[in-house]
Structure 1
């Protein structure tokens, strides 16, 4: 009788572990995720995850890297597709908030201190995660830089202001503080107006 091949063998095991890890992250949060539970969810031996992730921190970094990879891929379409810069910025902002609201546990992992401040930056998974996170930010800078008359220095400050606003909005909405989710679109448009304001005097005061 022919046997059915398991989806958790050979070259696709690491990705299968990441897929299962993301499911567990959604269900139980960062504190509830463990390599032992991961092995059980993927129906592999308890030692199998350790062939791909040295510890829980490595697994979390790999999950965050996968999240940033997805975010960067979407951002790159707005950078490269010739969409008018202001429209591209708005779409990128709305996508950012949608990502945070649809995947709150992954968002918390990607933008939390656990991996940015408290992890070993020399670890390959952590290094890749942080590189991808910075790549995402650079794409926001590039979107500002594509606006007519933009300067490199001003584009950087605009992107910093916008990302800080988006992160604050996402946290407020996720925590149920002050911001209603149905108002996010209007707030984002106002934040973009502020971030896109060209103020040459701001350059001279820094």
Structure 2
């Protein structure tokens, strides 16, 4: 019995399928993924994935949900560095977002693209992860406003929408090849951060 099938009997096949499918879409795009190909990749019977996913859409939603969880964990790691000044944390958060999106472009497309959301085919499990993800963006925007990092006079929801939309736009321009030189990503993010929340100059 191979290692993958051994995992199946221990109840870990679902996660193994998600991880393998994530690699497949990064290699071949969403169009190159099917439950049959996935079963062959993992080394299980072609009916085994259907014990966990009703169809390809359910699998894609599970992959997207995992993508949201991974980004949320990364964001929490950055924001929990309370020994760093708020401006530095904001810069690292923005850089982390863009690098996450451009490191996993196919996953990012799945998380925020039309494949799922335009078709209104998101599963309840995906909604339960994706919707709180944006609410978290609103919450940390309020925190940054309270810390004086972002303008306190602006509506928190609208400010979160605009700042996230700007980050999303930069990510899409890089992913789509409009900004082909990805070495400029950090410079663009730095410009965005300094525009939105200029660093406070120390008094001499």
Provide the TM-score with structure 2 as the length reference.
Answer: 0.83
Which residue number in structure 1 is paired with residue 18 of structure 2?
A: 18
The change in CA–CA distance for 1:178 and 1:24 in structure 2 (over 3 A counts) is closer
Residue number in structure 2 paired with 1:201 = none
Distance 2:96 2:139 in 1: 14
1:91-102 matched pairs, under 5 angstroms? 91-102=92-103
Q: Distance in 1 between matches of 2:178 and 2:63?
A: 27
Which residue matches 1:90?
A: 91
Mean Cα deviation higher: 111-120 or 86-95? 111-120
Contact in 2 for aligned 1:79/1:142 (Cα 8 Å): no
Could you tell me how far 1:151 is from its partner in structure 2? 3.2
The separation in 1 between residues aligned to 2:88 and 2:20, in whole angstroms, is 36
Q: Kindly provide the CA deviation profile for residues 142-183 of structure 1, in whole angstroms up to 9, marking residues without a partner as x.
A: 553353275385443333222111111111112221463122
Instruction: Identify the range of structure 1 (136-145 vs 53-62) with the bigger mean alpha-carbon deviation.
Output: 136-145
The 8 Å contact of residues 138 and 156 in structure 2, kept in 1 or not, is answered as: no
Quote the RMSD (CA, aligned, Å). Answer: 2.4
Q: For residues 107-131 of structure 1, what are the alpha-carbon distances to aligned partners after superposition, in whole Å with 9 as ceiling and x for unaligned?
A: 111110222231334x333323423
Corresponding position of 1:202: none
Check the 8 A contact 1:144/1:158 in 2, yes or no: no
Greater helix share, structure number: 1
Aligned to 2:137: 137
Residue 194 of structure 2: SS of its match in structure 1?
helix
Separation in 2, partners of 1:93, 1:70 = 16
Q: Which runs of 5+ in 1 are unaligned?
A: 198-206
After superposition, give the CA deviation of every residue in 1:11-58 in whole Å (9 maximum; x if it has no partner). Answer: 211111111111111111111111111111111111111111111111
Q: Does residue 39 of structure 2 align to residue 42 of structure 1?
A: no
Runs of 4+ in 1 over 4 A off after TM superposition: none
Alpha-carbon separation, structure 1, partners of 2:48 and 2:135:
31
Show the counterpart of 1:204.
none
Give the aligned length. 194
2:117 matches 1:119: no
Q: If the length of structure 1 is used for normalisation, what is the TM-score?
A: 0.82
Displacement of 1:192: 1.7
